[in-house]
Structure 1
Amino acid sequence: MKTIYKGLFSFFLFSISSILVAQEKNSFFDSRHRVGFLVGYGTQNFGQLSLEVPYDYEITFFKAQYYYVLKKGQEISLELLAQPQFNLTQYRHIDFFSDKSNGFEVGLNIGALIRKNLNSSQMSIYAAITSGPHFVSGTPQRQVEGFVFSSNFMVGVNFRLNNHTFLDIRPSFRHISNLDFKKPNGGVNNLVLSGGVLVNL
């Protein structure tokens, strides 16, 4: 009986040590390539947080993500981020009494992300700036539809789910306009909250 207990205890210790070693070997910085998928929601008002603007432009985001680590250290990495996306929109003009119209966006954002590894690779925090061309099918009166640039400023946190997969939570601010290529070009701003998964390849 003692032999069985010793065997079980040895197996338990071996299993725990294997898990710890695997976690150490599978930190954010063990891979230069990562992919992910995010869904999100953007609006002008999140509870008490408001942009106080005279228009409605709501977005449901569907973003694929590719990360490439440009430079990495023990705790901090600099990464390239690409985000092809298809988004559904609802918008209303300045009067606030008209019905909301449905639309869509298609675009690609590219930018830079800086990440800090925390808690022995169980969590990381990051900040990023991205921008890129988009086509929008409809907008409030202050902004002409069609070709625009989307600029995004974001912070986020990742939590480990298993050796290669992480939960991704990200609040951000987004601005679209068209660099005065066509009038009107008042721009549209959104507060955004997104969530998804990130996988080390």
Structure 2
Amino acid sequence: MNQLFKVFILTNMLLWLSFNIEAQTDQSQIQKRLTLGLNSGISNQAILFLENSDYQYKNQFYRVEFRFPITNKKNWNFEMVAAPSYYITEYRLQNKHYIKPEDNENYVAEREKYTQERILKEYALQISLLWRYNISKKLSAYSLIGSGPMLIDKESERQAKGFNFSNYGGFGVMYQVSNIFLDLRGSIRHASNLQLREPNNGYDMMSVEIGVSMFL
């Protein structure tokens, strides 16, 4: 998963560099107007290359997005996104042998505890960089990547509760109807804590979400 994020970051850095060279030649066209949006979606780790038979992780989430355009070119736009997010997650250990006798002298009780489905609540503030390509006057495609602090209210056998980081990247399309923007997005997310506490094996998930936003 970490390698995937490195490739994603490198690709987007190259796109940003080529765009920034062009944008510097015409800063007079910049228009700054805040956009407020509400997105909702579902996530699951049991999809494609993210699937891990050790655990079940699926959730429903809600996200408020504040988008602030940094540049406003004819074809490419560059934006900053701040997104407070709330995740309600169904979590369960599926492979009880993930908890080994040498890891914990109470491993039998730990296996019993974590193989029961649990509800985890996650609160995140994700700050992302978004670059958009205008396909037409109303339709655009975009990519974004970001990270931010997150709190998880319960621990699991693979991740400590409390302070973590939510790393996020995705692609989407947006269609404008008058002053309203309709949003469809696919994304991947990785949650971990940079080894601040143990355990720190992290959660990986793939999401699909829809949203609506408008100019303020």
TM-score range, shorter chain: 0.7 to 0.9
CA distance in 2, matches of 1:196, 1:31: 21
Query: TM-score, with normalisation over the residues of structure 2?
Result: 0.73
**Contact 2:63–2:86 (CA<8 Å) still a contact in 1?**
yes
Aligned to 1:21: none
- Find 1:136's aligned residue among 152, 155, 175: 152
1:193 aligns with 2:194: no
Structure 1 residues 57 and 139, CA gap change in structure 2 (3 angstroms): farther
Query: What amino acid does structure 1 have at the position aligned with 2:166?
Result: S
More strand by share: 1
Structure 1 residues 123 and 139, CA gap change in structure 2 (3 angstroms): farther
Aligned to 1:159: 175
**Contact 2:160–2:200 (CA<8 Å) still a contact in 1?**
yes
Deviation at 1:35, TM superposition (A): 0.9
Aligned to 1:117: 134
TM-superposition CA deviations, 1:119-171 (whole Å, max 9, x none): 2x2211000011100101125411112110000011000012x2111110110
Superposed counterparts of 1:29-48, under 5 Å: 32-46=33-47
Deviation at 1:31, TM superposition (A): 5.7
**Contact 2:31–2:71 (CA<8 Å) still a contact in 1?**
no
CA distance in 2, matches of 1:55, 1:153: 22
Query: What amino acid does structure 1 have at the position aligned with 2:56?
Result: D
1:107 aligns with 2:108: no
Aligned to 2:51: 52
Query: What amino acid does structure 2 have at the position aligned with 1:40?
Result: G
- Find 1:182's aligned residue among 180, 194, 197: 197
CA distance in 1, matches of 2:44, 2:197: 24
Aligned to 1:66: 66
1:150 aligns with 2:166: yes
Report the 3-state secondary structure (helix = DSSP H, G, I; strand = E; otherwise coil) of the residue aligned with 2:146.
Answer: strand
Q: How many residues align?
A: 169
More helix by share: 2
Q: CA RMSD in A?
A: 1.8
Aligned to 2:100: none
Larger C-alpha radius of gyration, 1 or 2? 1
CA distance in 1, matches of 2:49, 2:45: 6
Query: Structure 1: 5+ residue runs without aligned partners?
Result: 1-28
Aligned to 1:19: none
TM-superposition CA deviations, 1:56-99 (whole Å, max 9, x none): 12121110000000112111110000001122111012427933
Aligned to 1:15: none
Deviation at 1:50, TM superposition (A): 4.7
Deviation at 1:51, TM superposition (A): 1.5
CA distance in 1, matches of 2:184, 2:139: 11
Structure 1 residues 55 and 175, CA gap change in structure 2 (3 angstroms): same
CA distance in 1, matches of 2:51, 2:66: 34
**Contact 1:136–1:148 (CA<8 Å) still a contact in 2?**
yes
Query: Structure 2: 5+ residue runs without aligned partners?
Result: 1-29, 97-111
Runs of 4+ in structure 1 off by over 2 angstroms are 29-32, 94-99
